[in-house]
Amino acid sequence: MRIDGAAYRTIWPEGDGVVAIIDQTRLPHDFAVVRLTGLEEAAHAIRAMLVRGAPLIGAAAAYGVALALRADASDRGLERACATLLATRPTAVNLRWALERMRGLLAPLPEAQRVGAAEAEAAAIADEDVEINRAIGLHGAALIRAAAERKAPGEPVNVLTHCNAGWLATVDWGTALAPVYAAFEQGIPLHVWVDETRPRNQGASLTAWELKHHGVPHTVIADNVGGHLMQHGKVDLCIVGTDRTTATGDVCNKIGTYLKALAAHDNGVPFYVGLPSPTIDWTIADGVREIPIEERDGREVSELTGRTADGRIETVRVTPDGSPVANYAFDVTPARLVTGLITERGVCPATRDGLLGLFPERG
């Protein structure tokens, strides 16, 4: 994607054991590039959410392994790197997927070959993510085009999205937003309702920033507005991302996604999920019971951070001192509420048969 005319990915190697990332904790107010040089820095970047979003977490972990091996390419070094990175965040399965892929490739190799192979594999994971998301964009844009054809000529298609599943959440393009970018580039009139996505505000801070830079018409709304908009016919379709999808089509995404799916179901609004195949956890069938839900620091709920009128970044408390706080970061939307999964191989029903129809090699 482009920022002020320059093309960027969210993560890129700079050579000599340096991997650059965009520090997403500083957006939308500051665009800052941070350089990672070792395992602990990579783990911190994922844990503290300088990089976030399921596909980007996977790519960052892969680069983290490559950085770690420069310091210690032994079997112990490889195991330590994988264990440290796996412990950073529990919900996005892309993390486990990327680490298993790295370990599977690297463990049989002699130590002397591991760094080069790890760097090449991390780059391959990043490149594949870009191509997967480009394909999701084209399949999803067809859905937006179909919605446009049901409207008066020139009237925008209203898409509602939750959290940030745009290019910042991936290496490029995004998952839920890839169809939006593809449709926008095809000249389909559209407008995006952006859920603010408390507590960390990935919608208000990141999705709005992305869409604004790309020139896509959008409006930020408080998290509880979606149901009202749907009741009044102001949402044509919802598209969200996912951190882990079961083999049966249950979808785990940012907290609040489930409530949007319920509102969409009640109002007959199609609810789609942008889904790169590394986000499918083929080992599980029941999302509510089996997907680990991250619980984060309560200060993300009890405090708010933003820019003051004179340009300072400040954090303020919004709850009474002493009130207990709970901070569940994800929820599960059962497959029955999902209209379709938009994958790199096409759109399918959120069912085991639907997924196996597109990925028969998993049968």
Ligand X SMILES: CSC[C@@H](O)[C@@H](O)C(=O)COP(=O)(O)O
Chain residues that interact with ligand X, rule: CB under 6 A: 52-55, 92, 163, 165, 169-170, 174-175, 202, 241-243, 253-254, 329
What secondary structure does DSSP assign to 325-342, as a single string? ---B-EEEE-GGG-SEEE
For residue 340, which phi and psi values (nearest 5 degrees)?
-170, 155
CB of 65 or CB of 132, closer to ligand X: 132
Residues in the chain: 363
Q: How far is the CB of 114 from ligand X (least distance, A)?
A: 29
Nearest distance from C-beta of residue 58 to ligand X, angstroms: 10
Specify whether the CB–CB gap between 242 and 229 falls below 8 A.
no
Strands 18-22, 33-36: pairing kind: antiparallel
Q: How many CB atoms lie within 10 A of CB 319?
A: 13
Residue (174 or 226) nearer to ligand X, CB: 174
In the complex, the smallest distance separating the C-beta of residue 157 from ligand X, rounded to whole angstroms, is 20
Beta strands at 18-22 and 237-240: parallel, antiparallel or unpaired: unpaired
Q: Say if residue 53 carries a ligand binding annotation.
A: yes
Using Cβ positions, the residue closest to ligand X within the complex turns out to be 241
Min dist CB 135 to ligand X, Å, is 14
User: Looking at beta carbons only, is 202 or 277 nearer to ligand X?
Assistant: 202
Segment holding 190, helix H or strand E: strand 190-195
312 known ligand binder: no
Token output for 307: 């820019």
Rg, the chain, Cα only: 20
Check the annotation: does 113 bind a ligand.
no
Note whether 136 and 276 are within 8 A (CB): yes
Q: Which CB, 247 or 275, lies closer to ligand X?
A: 275
52 known member of a binding site = yes
- Residue identified by tokens 């969210």 is 10
243, 250, 281, 331: the active-site residue? 243
What amino acid occupies position 361? E
- Which is nearer to ligand X, 119 or 195 (by Cβ)? 195
For the bound state, the minimum distance from the C-beta of residue 202 to ligand X, rounded and expressed in Å, comes to 5
243 part of the active site: yes
38 is in an annotated binding site: no
Residues of the binding site for substrate:
52-54, 89, 202, 253-254
Residues of the binding site:
52-54, 89, 202, 253-254
Catalytic positions, please? 243
